[in-house]
């Protein structure tokens, strides 16, 4: 993919996310876009990826052709004050104050794992994705939804916490889409089949 930042020359609110990321623990696929009409969209990793402390080594992995709306947040493990302690106070973070071993700092939170977003996922305005969640290919996350558990492919979810609203297509169509993986095609092949992709003419994609 080209290294340009803006998909549209006169639109400075939408960026190709891959080309504005510097954090090695944030991995973004080709053509995924982020739109922000409130803040600078190039500051995505500072404003939208929260509590991703390097000491924890957790990752945000986003696939190709995703659409991420303004204000969407990805909240990582370090926000999860541990529930295995008698106190939720993060003593290990303040190791200097309490004479604790700095090597135990990650015991201050419960580690639920990476956040993994599939391909062709649409994440709505101000949605929140929590640590440990995997969102399948083709899923849609509703406006201001709070996603606390995995979302299957091509499933629409919404609410707090997010619940399944419906599947986007029949299971046969979903299985076919997951098999052909059009997002992995070359740009030239995608260009040839854009009309079929947009019109839902899956028979011509097989």
The domain that contains 52 carries what CATH number? 2.160.10.10
Instruction: Report, as an integer, the average pLDDT of 43-58.
Output: 95
Domain that residue 40 falls in: 14-80+113-168
Q: Are 31 and 16 in contact (CB under 8 A)?
A: yes
Asked about 204 being catalytic, the answer comes back as no
In this structure, what token pair is assigned to residue 171?
């299971």
Residue 192: predicted pLDDT: 92
Same domain, yes or no: 61 and 148 = yes
Same domain, yes or no: 180 and 120 = no
Residue 200: predicted pLDDT: 84
Same domain, yes or no: 128 and 205 = no
pTM: 0.94
Model confidence at 1: pLDDT above 80:
no
Same domain, yes or no: 118 and 196 = no
Structural domain total, the chain: 2
pLDDT level of residue 205 (50, 70, 90 thresholds): confident
What is the chain's Cα-based Rg? 19
Residue 189: predicted pLDDT: 93
Same domain, yes or no: 61 and 129 = yes
Active-site residue, selected from the candidate residues 39, 59, 73, 81? 81
Q: Work out whether strand 140-141 and strand 33-35 pair parallel, antiparallel, or are unpaired.
A: unpaired
At 26-36, the pLDDT tens digits run 999 999 999 99
Phi-psi region of 120 (alpha: psi -120 to 50; beta: other; left: phi over 0): left
Model confidence at 2: pLDDT above 80:
no
Helix and strand numbers (H, E) in the chain are 5, 15
């Amino acid at each position: 993919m080209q290294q340009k930042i803006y998909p549209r020359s006169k639109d400075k609110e939408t960026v190709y996310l891959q080309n504005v990321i510097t954090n090695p623990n944030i991995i973004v696929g080709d053509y995924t876009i982020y739109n922000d009409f409130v803040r600078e969209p190039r500051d995505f990793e500072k404003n939208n990826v929260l509590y991703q402390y390097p000491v924890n080594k957790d990752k945000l992995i986003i696939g190709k052709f995703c659409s991420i709306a303004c204000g969407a947040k990805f909240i990582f493990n370090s926000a999860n004050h541990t529930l295995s302690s008698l106190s939720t106070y993060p003593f290990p973070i303040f190791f200097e104050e309490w004479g604790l071993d700095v090597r135990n700092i990650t015991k201050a939170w419960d580690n639920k794992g990476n956040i993994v977003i599939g391909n062709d996922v649409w994440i709505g305005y101000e949605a929140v994705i929590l640590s440990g969640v995997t969102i399948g290919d083709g899923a849609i996350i509703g406006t201001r939804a709070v996603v606390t558990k995995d979302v299957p492919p091509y499933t629409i979810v919404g609410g707090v916490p997010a619940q399944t609203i419906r599947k986007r297509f029949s299971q046969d169509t979903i299985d076919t889409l997951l098999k052909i993986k059009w997002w992995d095609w070359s740009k030239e092949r995608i260009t040839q089949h854009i009309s079929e992709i947009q019109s839902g003419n899956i028979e011509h994609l097989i």
